Structure 1
Amino acid sequence: MFRLAFVLSLLVTLAAIQGNQAVDYTVTNNAGSTGGGARFTRDIGVDYSKQALPAATDFAWRVFQQDNPAVRKNVKKVSLFIDIMDGVAYATNNEIHVSANYLGNYSGDVRKEFTGVLYHEITHIWQSNGHGQTPGGLIEGIADFVRLKANYAPRHWVQPGRVIGGIKGKSVDQLWNDYKAKYAK
């Protein structure tokens, strides 16, 4: 009986150790000689990226309510690449590829934008795709939701209370004043 209890406790301990192993994060700038690659090095950097990746991972786990490592995807390593490519970024096979062209041409706080992109893409690393059956819009919407909840929404997303203004070009107050001026007698 003692042997069985010992073996079971040993197995539980080994499973816990296996489940709690840290994820290894690597960052490679394949575009260092380009304007965007140089901007990554100057304004963002490998060290910052290696801090942002686990922070984004922890945040995604909290949003997904994956406090228990046993319910998470079994990912041992996440690699980030800064590449010469079109678009913004994509995630595949536990890799995140960010466009040096996008970083080089971005006007504004490039570090904040980069962080928002990381939160979006790291979500793809950890989320389930229902064995390929989940609609792409839902997958992207969930990643955008995580980015939004982390306070890294890009400037072009409509801000709370600005939906009407985004459609009509005026605030609700301006529209109300126009209405009163036209119809109030």
Structure 2
Amino acid sequence: MKLLRLHVAAALLALAAATTAGAVTYQVNNQALSTAGRRAEVSPGVRRRLRRAGARGRVVLHLEHLQADEPREPPVDTVVLAVRDVDGIASTLGNTITLGAGYVAGITGNDFNTQVTGVLYHEVVHVWQWGLQDYAAHSWVYEGIADFVRLRAGYIAAGWVQPGQGNSWEDSYSVTARFFDYCDSVKPGFVADLNGKLKDGYNVDYFVQITGKTVQQLWQDYKAKYGN
């Protein structure tokens, strides 16, 4: 684990050096009519948290590919967080993250920064993921990767099951993040490798290519580790 942390730290330094000339700009725009939108826009540190989430997500996604000759990641110059009067919590399209004003309004007390930050860590991953053209057919993979980044950042969502629980590795909003965390323990850098392969679309054989085990065997091993 210590070696992995050093690897991530080195990757962060490499990322900073590689992007100095073309740093990503982060913007927060309130497009909601309610006061909730203003609350998110002026909340101390929202832009800083978005920037940190972006940096963490980029490193996790592209950890093994920072020095590659081919494009390291989808080119993004600006990431926009827009607070809008829409249903739901959040969504991402291209380089724009939409945060629901109604969701913001429903957060009380000290939970605001924690909950919103967790959402940002998830959503900003979609900005830099490869293979989103295949999202509709295999959404659990892409959502699971985004939740993996959120998990590693320490922002566990209330709806996630405990480690080893769950009926399917494809339950992306409750199970997949922890399953991918296990896969990453089997093969450090698993998520970065998986993301790189997704550039060509999803194939279940990627699990064998990366870890040497089928996804079914990994799932069985994961359940067995926790006595399930």
Structure 1 position 136, deviation (Å): 0.9
Q: Of 43, 46, 60, which aligns to 1:49?
A: 46
Partner of 1:27: 28
Change (3 A) 1:131 1:156: closer
Q: Which moved more, 1:109-118 or 1:65-74?
A: 65-74
Report whether the alignment pairs 1:149 with 2:140.
Answer: no
Q: How far apart are the structure 2 equivalents of 1:61 and 1:18? A: 11
Cα pair 2:31 2:82 within 8 Å, conserved: yes
| Aligned partner of residue 111 in structure 1, secondary structure | helix
Bigger radius of gyration among the two: 1
TM-score with structure 2 setting the length: 0.56
| Aligned partner of residue 134 in structure 2, secondary structure | coil
RMSD (CA atoms): 2.7
After superposition, give the CA deviation of every residue in 1:132-171 in whole Å (9 maximum; x if it has no partner).
Answer: 366111111111111111111122323448x49xxxxxxx
After superposition, give the CA deviation of every residue in 1:34-80 in whole Å (9 maximum; x if it has no partner).
Answer: 142243246x34xx122112211111122121534841211111111
Cα pair 1:61 1:67 within 8 Å, conserved: no
Report whether the alignment pairs 1:77 with 2:78.
Answer: yes
Q: Which runs of 5+ in 2 are unaligned?
A: 1-16, 167-228
Number of residues paired by the alignment? 144
Cα pair 2:24 2:76 within 8 Å, conserved: yes
TM-score with structure 1 setting the length: 0.67
Partner of 2:115: 113
Q: Of 118, 127, 130, which aligns to 1:128?
A: 130
Structure 1 position 20, deviation (Å): 4.2
Q: How far apart are the structure 1 equivalents of 2:163 and 2:39? A: 31
Q: How far apart are the structure 1 equivalents of 2:59 and 2:41? A: 30
Q: Which runs of 5+ in 1 are unaligned?
A: 1-15, 165-185
Q: What is the one-letter code of the residue matched to 1:54? A: R
| Aligned partner of residue 80 in structure 1, secondary structure | strand
Q: How far apart are the structure 2 equivalents of 1:117 and 1:61? A: 16
